[in-house]
Structure 1
């Protein structure tokens, strides 16, 4: 599969280009004394690298010795490895034109002097670094595309990348540049499958219907059957009615797309069924770019909150060991949940809700101005931390700029945070928590919060976390809960938390999963990738 996606001339180039460059090196040796050759080469490298401080520092540290253009077998191996990965850049959903392999090859084959060779040397290094940074940590800077993506992507230093290619087997170094996570490998596999599918015409005719249910028949049912067969949800069949087998296939499809598994092909299900394979391919390519942004290891045990899936999971060694539904930030400005990673440090049982100032002045102050007794479950505190009687406050005298009170809700079952919250302290004031609004978890699309993540099964989530440090985590949790007092429980081992946004993701076993673009973020990322040169053009073999 990989070879089929190579640059059309890559196999010939791998054989011819290194030979031509080696022949040029032999020619230089005949026509120019060694000392003069070395001086001319060094001068050319110094001049060509001068515009890039890191590259200039690397070559200066190496006394301007060649990485790529020397006559030795190790230089040949590096050139071959670089040409090979550049020829396959499109496999990783990268903008192949950015690396200008044809131009690079032309420069190598046209070198006629040591000065030319020095310029080619630096050009090869620049191209290698450009490719390495893109495949390792992403084509885009996420925060420049979407402000709510708070990830600081770590890019390996240029000097370290070049020293690595000098010290290790080049092909292995090149292979290991891309993320080594299981998720990335599975996404890459799905990308290749979808590209093959798109080249063959996709999933066939779309389904023209508003709703289909068991017992129905007709052309729309046949189209639904055929499309699900093409997607792998149904074995080949000549059935023309919405029978039990078709209903089960619809339910499996619904489960893989985050939809209610009622077996009825309603408007939402049919919209997902009719989504073209090209759109799924875009989601996978965006997911691969997003995976490159997760520079750090996820952790053997980690918490994964996927905003598009409205879910929170605990994973141990890539296996889901706990999963629950979640409510995320509403799709409104200033309420959408951000994306970032941190470490969960503790939980608070019987929490007090410290109402954020923005909510206090924008939501509760107007209510209290209309009716001082509004939201009676909330208490006011002055700057000294003393409770203030509402009867003593003229709410009309205050606005969003001068409101001097803190608003809090004491621990209770009615508390907005429920009975437990899970803390990974961060400057965005985002955490996971319980909620008294349980009915929201029955909805298919669950964006209602102010940005924090509400959990459907917070107690079970707590038991799973405490299981690493308590012999009877459930009994321990309820013994603390029963006191009614706000209590901080430290986690002896902090757990990485990753709040991600994936409209395409995979499972260790099972079919790929697709979700809706609830905040429209992936559409914007795809647009930015397209502007950078990423395309859906089916690679030629």
Structure 2
């Protein structure tokens, strides 16, 4: 009873102190009397029904954005977020703005470091709404600031978690589908934190590549701001020991990107002839540059190396931005153990929580004739030792059938056989080229040393019939660019890769090699699936620095065009 009497007393003070005006256009203000502080704090903890009513109308009434034009474009996820919280404000209590708002704005304004464009999230709109709230206690100001903060978070979080571009809208990346996360649940958890929740840290991909690429982007943007580097003139191929007027320019160029120890900032022309010498320091620096760019490491300044040296700092920075975007398409947490194939790098790595623990060269699909290796992700669930090669119809009809027509012994000499619709095995001698073309049977190659898949394959079932496998054509691994297959991924060291995949099940290299030497086909099901990510990064970073590769399939050009359109629209 005493509490009720005290409540009535305080309420009368509030009503006497409150300014006159439309009931729905004013927010409750703290009473002036210090004597009511304790109960006032209790009252402020009670949801403001007027604000709740206005948020509800803002999100549920068609056309309400005409009254609050800044709220146009609020999507269903934001509605679900507020429905889960009874449409109560989450950023603003009374007229006090949570300290989390400043943390969010700071992270959004720093979004450029992640290769994003901060203006796309309209932090200026949030700032104006907060400034208006600081000057006015109207309900509309509270609701405007509240929903602007939520709108900005949802846009920022969605971009950080899934990227700016939907890869399924790009013909070059159509098979990759970003993970769908509940952004509303993430925001609820972050706002419940008592201190700075670290919005960015909660949203960035957890791949080891990502933060290293962010650092590399900052470095190359700084180089770009300083003017980048001067191109090296064309000329004769330079080799170690040569003397040439272009060597000072080469020294300077290698120094700018850290491949050569920093040289003094001298003009690159008019130097003493002694500085024209292609000496050991230049030789080693050029080899390091070639290694970072996937070139033949011969310490020779030939056409390919010269072209890579003359790619501008701004172009390299853009490559990094494209790779950061692609990493956002992958699950934020790739898993305890996972496999990552980087197509333009021609390498595969197996990762655990400590980093890459297996790393080797691969051969990927050729860049012509529809043989490009697709970009996608699936789960590896079994391994086949001494596999059959079930020949895709396109290869059988376009490549094998003409050979059969020209040589009736072609199938038998290469250990092929047919399989009918009922599963009946058909000997090679009974198969004609027309049988293959008409699809009356499928062609497969028997297990053995001559099998196109080699002696082991690693299966992650997918609609593209792509997998990792052994190969009898191991001479191709010495090539710097290894785009030669029909799409599947050939491994440099299949037993070593198999040991990494199967080690938890008691298999070591010697056991795998022993089974590969047996004629019998063996299937090993994995106790736990391993995620496999087939990705396309022409810029990537590791503990040795940032690396670049050529855009072998033209995918960078497609993504760059899509992002440029978005960036142009956001700058208007």
> Which structure 2 segments of 5+ residues have no match?
1-16, 27-47, 61-73, 264-273
Alignment of 1:468-507 (within 5 A): 468-470=504-506, 473-507=508-542
Paired position in structure 2 for 1:82: 104
Cα deviation code 1:198-253 (max 9, x no counterpart): 11111334343352111222222221111001111112457321111111111111
Q: How many angstroms apart in 2 are the aligned matches of 1:432 and 1:390?
A: 27
Paired residue for 2:79, among 56, 73, 78? 56
Paired position in structure 1 for 2:193: 168
Paired position in structure 1 for 2:269: none
Paired residue for 1:117, among 139, 142, 146? 142
Residues 1:324 and 2:334 are matched in the alignment: no
| Deviation for aligned residue 1:146 | 3.4
Paired position in structure 1 for 2:184: 159
Paired position in structure 1 for 2:116: 94
| Deviation for aligned residue 1:353 | 0.7
Paired position in structure 1 for 2:339: 303
Paired position in structure 2 for 1:383: 421
Cα deviation code 1:170-203 (max 9, x no counterpart): 6324132222433211111111111111111113
Q: How many angstroms apart in 2 are the aligned matches of 1:173 and 1:230?
A: 34
Q: How many angstroms apart in 2 are the aligned matches of 1:464 and 1:56?
A: 46
| Deviation for aligned residue 1:142 | 1.2
Q: Contact 1:210 / 1:267 at 8 angstroms: preserved in 2?
A: no
Residues 1:430 and 2:456 are matched in the alignment: no
Q: Contact 1:94 / 1:534 at 8 angstroms: preserved in 2?
A: no
Change (3 A) 1:534 1:306: farther
Which structure ranks higher in relative contact order (CA pairs < 8 Å, sequence separation ≥ 6)? 1
Q: How many angstroms apart in 1 are the aligned matches of 2:407 and 2:558?
A: 43
Change (3 A) 1:62 1:393: closer
Residues 1:190 and 2:216 are matched in the alignment: yes
Q: How many angstroms apart in 1 are the aligned matches of 2:189 and 2:20?
A: 33
| Deviation for aligned residue 1:49 | 2.0
Q: How many angstroms apart in 2 are the aligned matches of 1:53 and 1:170?
A: 28
**What secondary structure, in the 3-state scheme, does the structure 2 residue paired with 1:219 have?**
coil
Q: How many angstroms apart in 2 are the aligned matches of 1:486 and 1:48?
A: 65
| Deviation for aligned residue 1:447 | 0.8
Change (3 A) 1:166 1:366: same
Change (3 A) 1:396 1:500: closer
Q: Contact 2:466 / 2:487 at 8 angstroms: preserved in 1?
A: yes
Q: How many angstroms apart in 2 are the aligned matches of 1:515 and 1:352?
A: 34
Q: Contact 1:48 / 1:122 at 8 angstroms: preserved in 2?
A: no
Paired residue for 1:523, among 537, 557, 560? 557
Cα deviation code 1:256-304 (max 9, x no counterpart): 1111211112111111111111111011111111121121423343322
Q: How many angstroms apart in 2 are the aligned matches of 1:483 and 1:239?
A: 61
Paired residue for 1:356, among 392, 395, 399? 392
Cα deviation code 1:419-456 (max 9, x no counterpart): 11111222322111111112222222111111110012
Paired position in structure 1 for 2:66: none
Q: Contact 2:247 / 2:275 at 8 angstroms: preserved in 1?
A: no
**What secondary structure, in the 3-state scheme, does the structure 2 residue paired with 1:246 have?**
helix
Q: Contact 1:96 / 1:533 at 8 angstroms: preserved in 2?
A: no
Q: Contact 1:415 / 1:436 at 8 angstroms: preserved in 2?
A: yes
Change (3 A) 1:480 1:170: same
Change (3 A) 1:125 1:352: same
Q: How many angstroms apart in 1 are the aligned matches of 2:286 and 2:226?
A: 24
Larger deviation, residues 37-46 vs 441-450: 37-46
Q: How many angstroms apart in 1 are the aligned matches of 2:409 and 2:19?
A: 96
Cα deviation code 1:378-402 (max 9, x no counterpart): 2122222223355555544774xx4
Q: Contact 2:113 / 2:218 at 8 angstroms: preserved in 1?
A: yes
**What secondary structure, in the 3-state scheme, does the structure 1 residue paired with 2:537 have?**
coil
| Deviation for aligned residue 1:407 | 0.4
Q: Contact 2:204 / 2:332 at 8 angstroms: preserved in 1?
A: no
Q: How many angstroms apart in 2 are the aligned matches of 1:102 and 1:130?
A: 14
Q: How many angstroms apart in 1 are the aligned matches of 2:282 and 2:319?
A: 26
Q: How many angstroms apart in 1 are the aligned matches of 2:497 and 2:83?
A: 55
Paired position in structure 1 for 2:442: 406
Q: How many angstroms apart in 1 are the aligned matches of 2:355 and 2:434?
A: 55
TM-score by length of structure 2 reads 0.81
Runs of 4+ with >6 A deviation: 33-36
TM-score by length of structure 1 reads 0.86
Paired position in structure 2 for 1:17: none
Change (3 A) 1:158 1:306: closer
Larger deviation, residues 50-59 vs 122-131: 50-59
Residues 1:240 and 2:276 are matched in the alignment: yes
Q: How many angstroms apart in 2 are the aligned matches of 1:118 and 1:387?
A: 72
Change (3 A) 1:463 1:64: closer
**What secondary structure, in the 3-state scheme, does the structure 1 residue paired with 2:246 have?**
helix
Change (3 A) 1:83 1:481: closer
> Which structure 1 segments of 5+ residues have no match?
1-27
Q: How many angstroms apart in 1 are the aligned matches of 2:22 and 2:546?
A: 61
